[in-house]
Amino acid sequence: MNKPTWREKILLQEDLNFLLTNRVPRIALTRFMGWFSRIQSPRLTRLSIAVWRLFTPLDLSDARQQRFDSLHACFTRELKPGARAFDQRRDVICSPSDAIVGACGVVDGTDILQAKGFPYPVRELLQSEALAHTMQGGRYVTLRLTSAMYHRFHAPHDLVVDRVTYLSGDTWNVNPIALKRVQKLFCKNERAVIETRLSAFGGAPLVLVPVAAILVASIRLHCLDVLLHLRWPGPSVMTCSAPHAKGQEMGWFEHGSTIIVFVPSGFDLVTGLAPGARLRAGEALFERDTSPPCNPAREPIARSAHFLSTVRQARNGAAPPTCS
């Protein structure tokens, strides 16, 4: 067995890791990184990447370009054509990004897990009681992007983005050490709640929650063509009607972070997928349960879609439809 490197020894020291990545002026460092990463200097960028590689296994072999004028260009790099193939099966929802699988499960109550023994309220994460109720009976998965990973994220299925809610907040690290120590971490950090409808399943709801972290200077969403960051003046709620084909790029982080994915009832996590597993964007994440509906506790996708329609009409002041 290979002995751990000095870098791995440091990272395994939980107290030191937490101190170095959290007990620091997080927001000030995040704003500094936003400024520093945009400095146009190939020489400084090469030096910065060399230092970066001392602490993380950065692999740029599949990047479209190999030379970068700034760290920002490296963080938000595009990949070579075909580097991420999306599973085109209709009954499969794909991973929107490269990631490590974290906490996952059924949304069967008011709380879900950020780590073992650390629950947090869905309504606080989404900042919407109605939306939290909409996702009841569905499933969720936490996808963590490390700083070395590809930072762009894509549509996990054919969908339409209806609404984006930007929530400013803190910039705690989102690594497993912090998730075991900081309660309601995802509810405290800067994030965007992206409400979408699945085109292939009667408009059933799918929600993506990109969560920023320390040194993440911004979240870019192409459907809004704005840069969401700690100094974003608003508005906090933005409506749109933006269709995306499965695999189409939706946006990017400017460092590593997390995406929490909520899918409607009727989908299960792909067999064998568990916390700690590594995924690439486009690999199967959820698959539709096509078995006969013999379990009365399983709410069909159509019912989730109906409830979402009711919520939308209520927001617009229309009378909710009656169920027959």
CA separation for the pair 313, 153 (Å, rounded): 30
The catalytic site residues sit at 98, 154, 257
- Contact in structure between 204 and 198 (CB atoms under 8 Å): yes
The string of DSSP codes covering 24-44 is S-HHHHHHHHHHHTT---HHH
- Contact in structure between 164 and 223 (CB atoms under 8 Å): yes
* Residue 303: other Cβ atoms inside 10 A: 15
CA separation for the pair 141, 139 (Å, rounded): 7
- Cβ-in-10-Å burial (0-12, 13-18, 19+) of 254 comes to buried
CA separation for the pair 164, 239 (Å, rounded): 6
Q: Determine the 3-state secondary structure of 247 from DSSP.
A: coil
- Cβ-in-10-Å burial (0-12, 13-18, 19+) of 45 comes to buried
CA separation for the pair 197, 264 (Å, rounded): 10
CA separation for the pair 293, 278 (Å, rounded): 31
CA separation for the pair 23, 84 (Å, rounded): 36
CA separation for the pair 154, 245 (Å, rounded): 9
* 117 CB-near residues (< 8 Å, 6+ apart): 180
- Contact in structure between 189 and 171 (CB atoms under 8 Å): yes
Per-residue DSSP letter, 109: S
